[in-house]
Structure 1
Amino acid sequence: MSSNKPHRWSLRTRLLWQLVLAIGVLLGGLFLTLDALVDRAMFQQLDQVLSSRAASLARQLQNSDEPLPAVLPAWDIAGHTEFFAVYDVRGRLRAASINSGRTPLALPATTARSGNVLLPDGHRGRYHVVLLQRGAFAKGRLLVATERESWDSTERRMHGVLLLGILAAVIAAVLLCLLVVRQAFRTITREAQRLPHDGPPVQGALNETPQELQPFVEAAHAALRNSWAMAERERRVSRSVAHELRTPVAEIAAVTELAQNQQDADVLKRALTTVHATNVRMQRGIEALLALARFESGQEPPQTDPLDAAALLRQLAASLAQPRLHLQLPAEAWVVCDAGMLERIATNLLHNALEYGDADAPVQLGLQLDGGWWLHVRNRASHLREEDVRHFGERHWRGQCDGDPQHAGLGLALVLAMAHALGLQLHFDLHAGELQARLGPIPAL
């Protein structure tokens, strides 16, 4: 039976073979470099020895009047591993060491002074050539060679040591890296277990996270914070809906219960009117809550377009037809913004100013250019206190109208959510009984 469980790759396995490959290539290149350097140093040392022996033999041959001086017996030793041969200018063999037997050293075909050669005894060797200047073999060439078996054996032992060292280094490096990775993940696991389970993680919650994993941790924390924010919005909407529906539902239940025992048509008509008004108020509150939830969650992003904010505000003021409303607007104020959101924010701010401000005081609506256009609404509100201003934007807070069922207390919360969606600031300031709301900076064209 085949399993549908997806195959999950292991970080440890991937790290293992990648480390083995990378370190193997690196140390393999190092091995080849060291091998070339060691071979070069060994051959240079061997060539120096051969050059010294060849120079000594050449002096004996050049300083002796005899064709074959007394140097030959010195080369007739059992087990002697050095050989020589003398060739004239035409390449003919003139003399050879006694231990060469019937197969003397062959003259190399190249003009190189040193190189590898096959010795008369069949072993591998190294040769060196010297040009004779005088004596019986004047203008001839002296060829001196020696076995390199011991040198090759030393080189093979060095190769073995290097290979074992490289293998040990690869194993040690892999084990050390795996140990470090395991320790790093243990640290992350231990730190993650300390994260709060009753709220979103704060910035810098995992202080001991390795630098390489910090972007992953920050992304995970951002996702967790977004999830907590989403859950909190859902809980807030649920609480708000319950709060908004509780009073209207109770009113409808009370009115219908009383109307059931009435026969008078006028009484029944008033009951139906009350139920209808309550239903309208309940619908208005639910629509405000849903709009607030859409703006806060980003489900309704702003649709920015060029528009004349001054013309938009003049049209809004004309639709309100309030004699208390005074405009301080420039001839034109072209901005880049969402026209619907901007109009809705201004409408809420003006309604609040006209409804909650002093009845005999004017309301000023204006635009001011300061690094972008700022919309301001000023009105006299002698009944407000500083602590009241701090509650602006809280859901279901109605201030002095807290007992008024016509107000759901969601207007300023909706205004703040739309301002945040537009990337604008909204400030409320109370000074000497005058309330000012400032929205901006709205990007100017």
Structure 2
Amino acid sequence: MKSIRIFLLIALLSTITLVNFIAALHGYRASMEEAERLFDRQVAGTALLLAAIPIDQTAPQVVEENDLQAFQVWSADGQLLMRSDNAPATPIGDAQEGFSEQNFSGFRWRVYSSPSANGRSIRVAERVDLRFRLADEVVLQSVMPILIGLPVAGLLIWLVIGHGLASLKKLADELRHKRAEDLAPLTLAAPPEELLPLVRSTNALLERLQASFDRERRFSADAAHELRTPIAAIQVHADNLATQLQNSAVVAPGSLQQLQDSIARMAHLVEQMLNLFRMTPEHYPARFESIDLHRLARDVIAELYPAFARREQEIELQGNTAYIDGDQFALVLLLQNLLNNACKYTPQGGRIAVDVQRQGDAVVLQVQDSGPGIPQEERERVFERFYRVGGDRHESRVPGCGLGLSIVHHIAELHHAQVELGPSSLRDAQAPGLAVAVRFPVQKSVERGIKHERVADENLVS
């Protein structure tokens, strides 16, 4: 069943048609019985009229008659006194009073025999097929309005069912327009009794989901927050131990460096977990303002430049001024994650390119690198939390926690932007590279950006 409305329409019309058919059949049978009685009385009346007509007994008279009836008048001694032109010269029926059915002249006839007071025998016949034809016409005229009324009834039923299902449509519309992160109860006003169980069950499900997500967020955020202090303490002790060994001229064991690296990785993981849950669109208190994305990218590159310099990587910024409506803290975090990923996965001496361009009704931020890239079949999954291509360590042997692109995706959702992954223009035969493009929609932010530029120019002139 694809449509409740169509199912109800077909079911109701079928029921109405069946009831009308049964009623019409019963009416047809009753009408035919009544018509039979009327026709029989008409034939008997004709016989009475013939009995009252004086007839010359010298020769049989032939009277022109229509095709509906035929008659014969016989004397007491069996002599034919008068007949209709469509009646045979031989007796039709018997002399006993009453009705019978006979065949003559190629038709089936209803014959009425009646003896008169003067000893004559009157026999009047009427064609059976004409009787049924007249009865059918009467019944058809009574049934035709019912048949014509079925489409009208169907239209009325369609409208009534549509009105009755309006509450269900409102419920479906409310569910359809709910955002993925919106788990608030349904607010359907005065739902009918039939929908109350569905609304209550859906609200209960949404409440359980909200509680489950809240527990997950609280646990992850609290765990990450509580881990900061012991990790910082461990890091301090490890640094103190390394300093003491260095001052005492004792060669530090290789495990100490591994310990420091593991502590740094754990601290990065905790920080990324905090950023991930902080950037959840439904919980982050964003403060949108007009931001020059090109200038912001330049500032973040300058902040992270020492990391690129240590790896002897070449980084360039292309594009021009492009304003968007955005939250500065979130956009800085987005740029930091994209650039840190590019720095980690681009080999020593590789290239990284950042481009900010206005394209139609969008501002596109693109970060490209000459690293190993991401296979086509893996590009959808890298936005999942803690997912890394190739497992815990990438082919590049770079440690990570698998949260960077998840944070980028959350921040993009916060700004109603789209994140696209593709091949890099910096690729070569050994490294296909990766291009991450974040497409921000431009609406009123462009007008504010233009006004901002005009004010800045006026200030420079003055």
The answer to whether TM tops 0.5 is: no
TM-score by length of 2: 0.40
